[in-house]
Amino acid sequence: MLVLSRRIGESVVIGGGSPEAVTITVLEVRGDVVRIGIDAPRSVAVHRAELLAELADANADAASPPDTAVASLSEALRSRP
Amino acid sequence: MDLPVIELAHPMPGFPDDARFALVRLDDDGVLHGFRSLDSQDLQFVVVPPAPFYPDYALDLDDETATELGIDESSADEVLVLLVVRAGATLADTTVNLRAPLVVNPVTRRASQVILDDADLPLAAPLVA
């Protein structure tokens, strides 16, 4: 991992020189909270890491239910008023 | 609706190696569908359309996703939105993911699990209230 120190208002550029470059700027530091601005092309998805981890967990929980669970879900939906 | 081969624009988080899926009907009512991996044996997600469960569910698709899935004016009406179901022991325990629906363009057969910006949408909402 590359570790850099930056001051408020300073940036790092990832993929510099290319039109796909991503610029990350430190906007504010208050206690243990750092606000950062991310300037990325639309083709680069930006997500909080914990949301992606939660989604991976949710997908893993949902993946490949046993046939019996699918059958009883189907039955329960059919008999729903 | 059944679709034999769907290609994901991005892998679903947690399943980086699965890019091709098939959509198959699992019940006679056409509600429950299987989103079945063609790259891994036995990997399947149960998915449902939102309408029977969350009639007001609507999403704003960002331009980038629309481009990736080849959604244009001619295919916009055909785009499928599917919610990933986590089948619980009972119907009351069964949840759906409202935060990250699968969006499928049946015309181009391309799909993506789109993470919506709205933090109020739960990853696990009850399928039926």
What would the DSSP string read from start to end of A11-61?
A: EEEESTTSTT-EEEEEEEEETTEEEEEEE--TTS----HHHHHHHHHHHHH
CB pair distance less than 8 Å for A63 and B43: yes
Q: Which residue of A has its CA nearest to B45?
A: A63
Indicate whether A80 pLDDT > 80: no
What mean pLDDT value characterizes chain B?
A: 93
Non-local CB neighbours of B104 within 8 Å, separated by 6+ positions: B3, B6, B23, B69, B79, B80, B81, B82, B110, B111
**What is the average pLDDT across B101-123?**
94
Rounded Cα distance between B129 and B124, Å, is 12
pTM: 0.88
Please give the C-alpha separations between residue A79 and each of B26, B58, B104, B126, in angstroms, as whole numbers.
16, 27, 29, 17
User: What is the pLDDT confidence band of residue B53, given thresholds at 50, 70 and 90?
Assistant: very high
Tell me if B87 and A70 make a contact (CB, 8 A cut-off): yes
CA distance A50 to A30: 21
Question: Rounded to whole angstroms, how far apart are CA atoms B70 and B91?
Answer: 36
Answer whether residue B23 shows pLDDT above 90.
yes
- Using an 8 Å Cβ cutoff, are B83 and B122 in contact? no
Per the prediction, chain A carries an average pLDDT of 92
Mean pLDDT, rounded, for B41-56: 95
Question: Do B5 and B24 contact (CB within 8 A), yes or no?
Answer: no
- pLDDT for B60 beyond 70: yes
Give percent of chain A with pLDDT exceeding 90.
75
Our CA-based measurement puts residue A24 at a distance from the nearest CA of chain B, in whole angstroms, of: 20
Residue A43: its chain B contacts at CB < 8 A? 64
Residue B12's Cβ-side half-sphere holds a number of Cα atoms within 13 Å equal to: 30
Band of pLDDT at residue A81, cut at 50, 70 and 90: low
pLDDT over threshold 90, residue B117 = no
DSSP element (H, E) containing B85: strand B80-86
Rounded Cα–Cα distance for residues B90 and B71 (Å): 37
